[in-house]
């Protein structure tokens, strides 16, 4: 489970961290992937599936910029913009949430590269991916205690951070985007976070 | 949202991993905006070397913050804050981070040394530990017939349990602490008033904060722990901050409102406010009646003499302002005050502190959320067998200071100087009275006098002004190579235990003070060895924490070694805990009227006592204020080059109006002369440059503490070194070749040396603030 979770968080992290590459898009169109995505309610239309990845990568780069980098609706992908601390008059970059997130990274031992904003959507999702990956590795190495600790840390991070803003930003993306790709990925990220935090229906055993 | 099966989840997970694998192979994932590196196994970003880290406790100032030593190839490369620590919550100040400079000070003492030639001539003969222990043990054994003549001096006795144990085991009561700006007067004042030494202003939850003379954003015994919470209070909780001071401090610059006050008159400001609160009926009647030993009517009557108009005339703060702030303070809940040694280091220090406490008492802001709270800390156990505490001596309890229940080196020095206590052996440990005590020159003379001090053992890592006057030097480890359990009043009001642990092993042949004391005790014998029968320091530490409820279950010493600090995670601040059993005063109430003060013929109610020296102050005379900065801790930190580079000198702050009147220009060298009370004894004066500013009271000159060393090594004395001069490879830090300030700016001057020894009559702490000086152009 942890490894699958790592994969999922890794994927959405990648998608919301930067513009897609043709290779990424090719991967997304893999029949296995399409089938698996469908179970999450993510369905790409025929035009997207048939399109040429080089061209699509270009178009999506424009869409990514339009969505997140300020030419269009500008959905700032930072937690502190979405979650205003009660002491803050207005949402701001590098607000209290940012500080809380970077404190969390420090606590669990995740080190940021210089120049990064800790509460960027892609980065928060990636932190989850790394913790899940480490959890899987510990479990395989027989370190049940270490794995359990990492699992708790993910839950905590999810509860204290992701769950209070990721569904909201994903809703904004679903509403604003013109692309079936970003709409689908927003649906996926939102579902993943809500599942993980137990805010929505649990995964059914089967 | 639809239900998702485990199978679906795993499948999509696998598919996602597959896509990422492709991406990693071909795509520019490395340039994808953000990447994280897994921690726990920390790696140096520039050198690529693996790093380990160990939590410990900082001793660079009295706050005792939790720190974290980062180690690469068994060398400390960085010191940071411990995020787990309740006090400093992950922040560490410049002094804490510069602790690394102390550890690798190129002039560190690494071998025992015996004096050659006259004391103070800095002529030494290296000897082996065996020889050193042999000599010291022989002298201590011989002197044991009169154990009272053994005197042990340390910086802060509360944190030097080993030294105290050693002294008591030897049979002497004379374990003395309390140097520099250590706050004996405040501790005595609070103990007399509410039965506990010290206070904790709960500033992060306060709505109105009144500061008298303190400068918590730059220097305070709780430094980072209090400063962080004060910032939270004024930023997040929107508390109003009002500061009274003689100088434009950093805290003043953050205040909503600030006022200059005539020196030594803080108590009058506070008492006139208390008067307004009583007159206007803004006081908390219920609290006064139930929890103090005075009635509102009594207080109103006593305070009536302190009218705002009188206060305006004597303090310089307008009566209007006093009335307004008094009303605001009484009407805003919760409210608190902040005060420290800068309030109580006057001849009227204990009364000053009691006057400020009174504001909290009459408004019911005692031990409430956001108010002035009783200190909370754990009690550490004294490991069995416990050495009996010998009967007090004239040093610990001078007869002329019957209420001075807290340490003060000055009060002891006075007794030794006057010949009231004979000294056979003096052991100084991590303390530098020749620099940090009042009348530095006199202390130096005392230490030089072989009749007064026949044998002086200095246990120290550094050759400071006091070690220079030793007969033998035992090279101690620095705090980063040492062990001790520490407890301090918690700024969070949840008690905690902090471990000082060796982040790296002792350098060369240095030894920890625990090892030195244990070794000596076992050589001196005569019964004292039984108190140092520990196999290792671990046994000692375990015994120290044995009585702390919950810690053993959490893992005891092992837990502390891993995390550096422990507190009960379920504990929350128990505000108002006094209601269960009353205050720990004889009456069980807050003793606003202090029978103990009355008995000794001091004013029993909080009173303003004008400082005599300030009354007849002449035109060319000024009051000298010596202040601590965020960069130097008294005699402790001047060998840290990172700190010295920022603060290495201490020009004399002087008001621009005063300077103009005296014809002094910014940068002029000026001389401060000590005003002698009777006759011309030894003229003491200091010279520094004028720092002309509007940010100081017109009758005050101010100088920073912590610089101007005449010993303590190249760095403290501002001299650059070449790497060839440093024998030990581990101490060759290339930065020592870049020391520039000594030649350019000078290294300042130790202002405290011209202040005469003057213990406050009640508290016994040094009255630093009473200093009147004459200014002369040079």
Task: Return the residue of B nearest to A1 by Cα.
Answer: B10
Judged by CB atoms closer than 8 Å, whether chains meet at B12 and A8 is answered as yes
If asked whether residues B354 and B220 sit together in one domain, one would say: yes
3-class state of residue B465 by DSSP? coil
pLDDT digits (tens, 9 = 90+) for B683-739: 789 999 999 999 999 999 999 999 999 999 999 999 999 999 999 999 999 899 999
By the 8 A CB rule, do B40 and A153 touch?
no
Judged by CB atoms closer than 8 Å, whether chains meet at A7 and B42 is answered as no
pLDDT band for position A73 (50/70/90)?
confident
Q: Is residue B641 part of a domain?
A: yes
Judged by CB atoms closer than 8 Å, whether chains meet at A112 and B36 is answered as yes
pLDDT band for position B682 (50/70/90)?
low
Closest-CA residue to B431 (of B59, B146, B58): B59
pLDDT digits (tens, 9 = 90+) for A56-72: 999 999 999 999 987 77
* A7 contacts in chain B (CB < 8 Å): 12-17, 20
By the 8 A CB rule, do B457 and B471 touch?
yes
What pLDDT is attached to residue B1?
53
* CATH classification at residue B224: 3.40.228.10
Partner-chain residue, chosen from A4, A17, A109, that has the shortest CB–CB distance to B38: A109
ipTM of the complex: 0.86
* B31 contacts in chain A (CB < 8 Å): 18
Judged by CB atoms closer than 8 Å, whether chains meet at A33 and B6 is answered as no
If asked whether residues B671 and B721 sit together in one domain, one would say: yes
If asked whether residues B645 and B680 sit together in one domain, one would say: yes
CB atoms inside a 10 Å sphere around CB A78: 26
By the 8 A CB rule, do B512 and B477 touch?
yes
If asked whether residues B635 and B766 sit together in one domain, one would say: yes
Judged by CB atoms closer than 8 Å, whether chains meet at B13 and A18 is answered as no
3-class state of residue B732 by DSSP? coil
Taking the C-alpha atoms of residue B515 and residue B122, their distance in angstroms, rounded to an integer, is 26
Judged by CB atoms closer than 8 Å, whether chains meet at B13 and A5 is answered as yes
Distance of CA B374 to the CA centre of its chain: 19
Taking the C-alpha atoms of residue B695 and residue A106, their distance in angstroms, rounded to an integer, is 40
If asked whether residues B552 and B490 sit together in one domain, one would say: yes
> Rounded to a whole number, what is the distance in Å from the CA of A178 to chain B's nearest CA?
22
Could you tell me how many helices (H) and strands (E) chain A has, helices first?
11, 1
> Rounded to a whole number, what is the distance in Å from the CA of B28 to chain A's nearest CA?
8
Q: Is residue A63 part of a domain?
A: yes
- The encoded tokens of residue B521 equal 């005790």
- E strands, B694-767, are 700-704
Structural domain boundaries enclosing B747 = 612-777
CB atoms inside a 10 Å sphere around CB B694: 9
* B5 contacts in chain A (CB < 8 Å): 39, 203-206
Q: Is residue B494 part of a domain?
A: yes
- The encoded tokens of residue B5 equal 């099966």
If asked whether residues B93 and B219 sit together in one domain, one would say: no
3-state secondary structure B366-427: ECCCCCEECCCCCCCCCCCCCCCCCCCCCCCCCCCCCCCCCCCHHHHHHHHHCCCCCCCEEE
Give the CA count within 13 Å in the CB-facing half-sphere of A21.
18
If asked whether residues B729 and B758 sit together in one domain, one would say: yes
- The encoded tokens of residue A174 equal 């679903």
* B7 contacts in chain A (CB < 8 Å): 206
- The encoded tokens of residue A2 equal 């942890």
* B3 contacts in chain A (CB < 8 Å): 201, 203-204
DSSP annotation of B120: T
Domains in chain A: how many in total?
Answer: 1
pLDDT digits (tens, 9 = 90+) for A130-151: 888 888 888 898 888 888 888 8
What pLDDT is attached to residue B737?
93
By the 8 A CB rule, do A206 and A56 touch?
no
Taking the C-alpha atoms of residue A22 and residue A44, their distance in angstroms, rounded to an integer, is 16
B405 prior amide bond cis, ω within 30? no
Domains in chain B: how many in total?
Answer: 4
| φ, ψ (nearest 5 deg) of residue A10 | -60, -45
3-class state of residue B55 by DSSP? strand
Lowest mean pLDDT among A7-11, A154-158, B36-40, B502-506: B36-40
Q: Is residue B241 part of a domain?
A: yes
CB atoms inside a 10 Å sphere around CB B452: 15
> Rounded to a whole number, what is the distance in Å from the CA of B37 to chain A's nearest CA?
6
Task: Return the residue of B nearest to A8 by Cα.
Answer: B13
Token pair 């000024």 is at which residue?
A: B622
Q: CB-based contacts of B552: which residues, under 8 Å, 6+ apart? A: B545, B546
> Rounded to a whole number, what is the distance in Å from the CA of A35 to chain B's nearest CA?
8
pLDDT band for position B522 (50/70/90)?
very high
A vs B, Cβ pairs < 8 A, gives 163
Instruction: Indicate the burial class of A11 (C-beta count within 10 angstroms; 0-12, 13-18, 19 or more).
Output: buried
* CATH classification at residue B750: 2.40.40.20
* A193 contacts in chain B (CB < 8 Å): none
Among the candidates B348, B373, B398, a domain finishes at B373
Judged by CB atoms closer than 8 Å, whether chains meet at B42 and A30 is answered as no
> Rounded to a whole number, what is the distance in Å from the CA of A52 to chain B's nearest CA?
17
Partner-chain residue, chosen from A27, A103, A204, that has the shortest CB–CB distance to B19: A27
Task: Return the residue of A nearest to B15 by Cα.
Answer: A33
* A4 contacts in chain B (CB < 8 Å): 9-10, 12-14, 16-17
Partner-chain residue, chosen from A36, A111, A201, that has the shortest CB–CB distance to B8: A36
Task: Return the residue of B nearest to A107 by Cα.
Answer: B83
DSSP string, B500-554: E--SSPPPTT-B-HHHHHHHHHHHH-TTGGGGG--SSHHHHHHHHTTTSTTHHHH
- The encoded tokens of residue B736 equal 């020592």
- Top residue of B3, B6, B12 to mutate, by most chain A CBs within 10 Å, is B12
* B16 contacts in chain A (CB < 8 Å): 4, 7-8, 10-11, 33
If asked whether residues B226 and B300 sit together in one domain, one would say: yes
Q: Is residue B271 part of a domain?
A: yes
DSSP annotation of A21: P
- E strands, A113-188, are none
pLDDT digits (tens, 9 = 90+) for B233-288: 999 899 999 999 999 999 999 999 999 999 999 999 999 999 999 999 999 999 99
Partner-chain residue, chosen from B15, B17, B35, that has the shortest CB–CB distance to A113: B35
Q: Is residue B666 part of a domain?
A: yes
* A121 contacts in chain B (CB < 8 Å): none
* B13 contacts in chain A (CB < 8 Å): 3-8
pLDDT band for position B50 (50/70/90)?
confident
pLDDT digits (tens, 9 = 90+) for A16-39: 988 999 999 999 999 989 998 998
pLDDT digits (tens, 9 = 90+) for B75-124: 999 999 998 899 999 999 999 999 999 999 999 999 999 999 999 999 99
Task: Return the residue of A nearest to B17 by Cα.
Answer: A7
If asked whether residues B357 and B243 sit together in one domain, one would say: yes
> Rounded to a whole number, what is the distance in Å from the CA of B539 to chain A's nearest CA?
29
Partner-chain residue, chosen from A21, A23, A110, that has the shortest CB–CB distance to B38: A110
Judged by CB atoms closer than 8 Å, whether chains meet at B19 and A87 is answered as no
Q: Is residue B382 part of a domain?
A: no
- The encoded tokens of residue B325 equal 């702030």
pLDDT digits (tens, 9 = 90+) for B456-473: 999 999 999 999 999 999
Taking the C-alpha atoms of residue B448 and residue B693, their distance in angstroms, rounded to an integer, is 40
If asked whether residues B92 and B25 sit together in one domain, one would say: no
Task: Return the residue of A nearest to B10 by Cα.
Answer: A4
What pLDDT is attached to residue B133?
98
Could you tell me the sign of the dihedral formed by the alpha carbons of B516, B517, B522, B526, in that order?
positive
The residues that bridge with B456 in the sheet, in sequence order, are: B426
pLDDT digits (tens, 9 = 90+) for B398-421: 999 999 988 888 888 889 999 999
DSSP string, B196-253: SSS-EE-GGG-SEEEEES-BTTTB-TTHHHHHHHHHHHHHTS--EEEEEESB--HHHH
If asked whether residues B637 and B747 sit together in one domain, one would say: yes
What pLDDT is attached to residue B30?
29
If asked whether residues B12 and B84 sit together in one domain, one would say: no
Among the candidates B351, B373, B395, a domain finishes at B373
Taking the C-alpha atoms of residue B49 and residue A189, their distance in angstroms, rounded to an integer, is 36
By the 8 A CB rule, do B275 and B323 touch?
no
- The encoded tokens of residue B209 equal 């904060």
pLDDT digits (tens, 9 = 90+) for B1-32: 567 788 888 888 888 887 775 443 322 222 22
> Rounded to a whole number, what is the distance in Å from the CA of B704 to chain A's nearest CA?
34
What pLDDT is attached to residue A175?
92
What pLDDT is attached to residue A88?
62
Of residues A93 and B374, the one with the higher pLDDT is B374
pLDDT digits (tens, 9 = 90+) for B130-148: 999 999 999 999 999 999 9
Partner-chain residue, chosen from B20, B31, B45, that has the shortest CB–CB distance to A11: B20
Closest-CA residue to B337 (of B426, B240, B425): B240
> Rounded to a whole number, what is the distance in Å from the CA of A60 to chain B's nearest CA?
15
By the 8 A CB rule, do B223 and B209 touch?
no
| φ, ψ (nearest 5 deg) of residue B62 | -75, -5
* A32 contacts in chain B (CB < 8 Å): 11, 14-15, 18
Structural domain boundaries enclosing A154 = 2-73+123-196
DSSP annotation of B429: E
| φ, ψ (nearest 5 deg) of residue B122 | 60, 40
- The encoded tokens of residue B763 equal 């508290």
* A204 contacts in chain B (CB < 8 Å): 3-6
Sheet with B50-57, side-by-side order of all strands = B42-43, B50-57, B66-72, B75-81
- Cα–Cα distances (Å) from A75 to B51, B101, B337, in that order, read 39, 47, 45
Distance of CA A50 to the CA centre of its chain: 26
Task: Return the residue of A nearest to B85 by Cα.
Answer: A107
- Top residue of B2, B3, B4, B85 to mutate, by most chain A CBs within 10 Å, is B4
């Amino acid at each position: 489970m942890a490894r699958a979770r790592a994969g999922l968080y890794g994927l959405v992290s990648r998608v919301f961290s930067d513009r897609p590459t043709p290779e990424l898009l090719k991967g997304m169109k893999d029949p296995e992937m399409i089938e698996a995505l469908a179970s999450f309610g993510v369905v790409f239309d025929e035009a997207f599936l048939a399109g040429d990845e080089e061209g699509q990568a270009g178009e999506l780069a424009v869409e990514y910029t339009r969505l997140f980098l300020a030419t269009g609706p500008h959905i700032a992908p930072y937690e502190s913009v979405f979650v205003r601390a009660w002491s803050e008059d207005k949402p701001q970059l590098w607000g209290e949430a940012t500080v809380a997130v970077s404190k969390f990274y420090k606590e669990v031992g995740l080190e940021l590269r210089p120049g990064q904003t800790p509460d960027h959507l892609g980065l928060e999702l990636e932190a989850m991916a790394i913790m899940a990956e480490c959890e899987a590795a510990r479990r395989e190495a027989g370190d049940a205690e270490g794995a359990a600790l990492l699992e708790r840390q993910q839950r905590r991070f999810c509860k204290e951070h992701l769950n209070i803003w990721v569904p909201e930003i994903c809703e904004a993306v679903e509403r604003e985007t013109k692309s079936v790709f970003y709409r689908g990925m927003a649906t996926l990220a939102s579902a993943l976070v809500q599942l993980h935090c137990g805010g929505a229906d649990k995964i059914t055993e089967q | 949202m639809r239900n998702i099966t485990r199978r679906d989840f795993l499948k999509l997970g696998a598919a996602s991993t597959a896509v990422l694998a492709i991406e990693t192979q071909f795509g520019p994932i490395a340039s994808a905006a953000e990447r994280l590196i897994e921690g726990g196994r920390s790696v140096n970003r520039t050198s690529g070397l693996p790093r380990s880290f160990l939590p410990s406790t900082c001793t660079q100032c009295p706050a005792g913050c939790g720190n974290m030593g980062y180690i690469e190839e068994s060398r400390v490369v960085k010191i940071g804050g411990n995020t787990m620590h309740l006090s400093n919550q992950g922040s560490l100040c410049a002094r804490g981070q510069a602790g690394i400079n102390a550890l690798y000070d190129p002039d560190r003492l690494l071998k025992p040394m015996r004096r050659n030639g006259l004391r103070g001539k800095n002529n030494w003969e290296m000897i082996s530990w065996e020889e050193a222990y042999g000599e010291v043990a022989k002298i201590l054994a011989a002197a044991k017939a009169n154990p009272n003549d053994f005197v042990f001096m340390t910086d802060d006795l509360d944190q030097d349990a080993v030294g105290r144990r050693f002294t008591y085991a030897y049979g002497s009561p004379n374990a003395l602490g309390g140097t520099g700006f250590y706050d004996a007067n405040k501790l005595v004042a609070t103990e007399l008033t509410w039965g506990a030494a010290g206070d904790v202003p709960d500033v992060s939850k306060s709505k109105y904060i009144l500061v008298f003379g303190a400068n918590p954003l730059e220097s305070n015994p709780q430094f980072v722990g209090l400063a962080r919470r004060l910032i939270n209070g004024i930023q997040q909780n929107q508390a109003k901050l009002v500061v009274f001071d003689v100088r434009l401090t950093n805290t003043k610059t953050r205040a909503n409102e600030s006022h200059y006050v005539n020196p030594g008159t803080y108590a009058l400001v506070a008492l006139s406010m208390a008067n307004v609160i009583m007159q206007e009926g803004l006081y908390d009647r219920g609290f006064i009646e139930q929890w103090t030993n005075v009635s509102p009517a009594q207080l109103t009557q006593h305070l009536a003499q302190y009218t705002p108009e009188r206060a305006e005339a004597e303090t310089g703060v307008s009566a209007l302002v006093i009335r307004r702030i008094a009303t605001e303070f009484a009407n805003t809940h919760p409210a608190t005050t902040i005060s420290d040694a800068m309030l109580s280091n006057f001849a009227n220090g204990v009364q000053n502190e009691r006057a400020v406490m009174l504001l909290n008492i009459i408004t019911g802001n005692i031990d409430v959320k956001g108010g002035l709270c009783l200190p909370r800390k754990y009690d550490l156990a004294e490991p069995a067998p416990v050495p009996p505490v010998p009967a007090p001596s004239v040093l610990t309890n001078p007869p002329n200071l019957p209420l001075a229940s807290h340490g003060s080196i000055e009060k002891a020095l006075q007794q030794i100087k006057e010949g009231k206590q004979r000294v056979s052996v003096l052991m100084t440990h991590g303390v530098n009275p020749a620099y940090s005590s009042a009348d530095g020159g006199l202390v130096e003379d005392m230490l030089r006098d072989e009749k007064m001090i026949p044998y002086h053992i200095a246990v120290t890592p550094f050759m400071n002004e006091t070690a220079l006057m030793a007969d033998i030097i035992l090279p101690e480890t620095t705090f980063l190579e040492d062990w001790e359990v520490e407890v301090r009043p918690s700024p969070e009001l949840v008690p905690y235990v902090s471990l000082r642990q060796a982040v790296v092993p002792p350098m060369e042949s240095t030894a920890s003070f625990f090892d030195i004391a244990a070794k000596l005790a076992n050589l001196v014998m005569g019964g004292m060895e039984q108190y140092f029968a520990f196999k290792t320091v671990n046994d000692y530490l375990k015994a120290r924490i044995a009585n702390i409820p919950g810690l053993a279950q959490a893992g005891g010493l092992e837990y502390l070694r891993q995390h550096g600090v422990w507190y009960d995670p379920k504990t929350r601040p128990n505000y108002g805990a006094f209601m269960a059993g009353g205050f720990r005063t004889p009456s069980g109430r807050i003793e606003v009227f202090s029978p103990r003060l009355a008995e000794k013929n001091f004013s029993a109610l909080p009173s303003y006592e004008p400082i005599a020296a300030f009354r007849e102050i002449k035109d060319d005379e000024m009051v000298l204020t010596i202040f601590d900065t965020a960069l130097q801790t008294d005699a402790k930190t001047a060998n840290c080059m990172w700190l010295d580079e920022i603060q290495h000198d201490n020009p004399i702050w002087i008001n621009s109006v005063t300077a103009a009147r005296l014809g002094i220009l910014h940068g002029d060298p000026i001389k401060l002369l000590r005003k002698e009370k009777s006759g011309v004894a030894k003229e003491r004066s200091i010279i520094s440059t004028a720092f002309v500013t509007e940010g100081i009271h017109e009758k005050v000159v101010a100088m920073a503490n912590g610089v101007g060393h005449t010993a303590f090594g190249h760095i403290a004395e501002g001299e650059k070194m070449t790497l060839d001069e440093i024998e030990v490879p581990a101490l060759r830090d290339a930065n020592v070749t870049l020391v520039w300030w000594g030649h350019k700016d000078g290294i300042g001057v130790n202002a405290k040396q011209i202040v005469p020894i003057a213990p406050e009559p009640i508290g016994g702490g040094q009255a630093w603030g009473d200093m009147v000086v004459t200014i002369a152009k040079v």
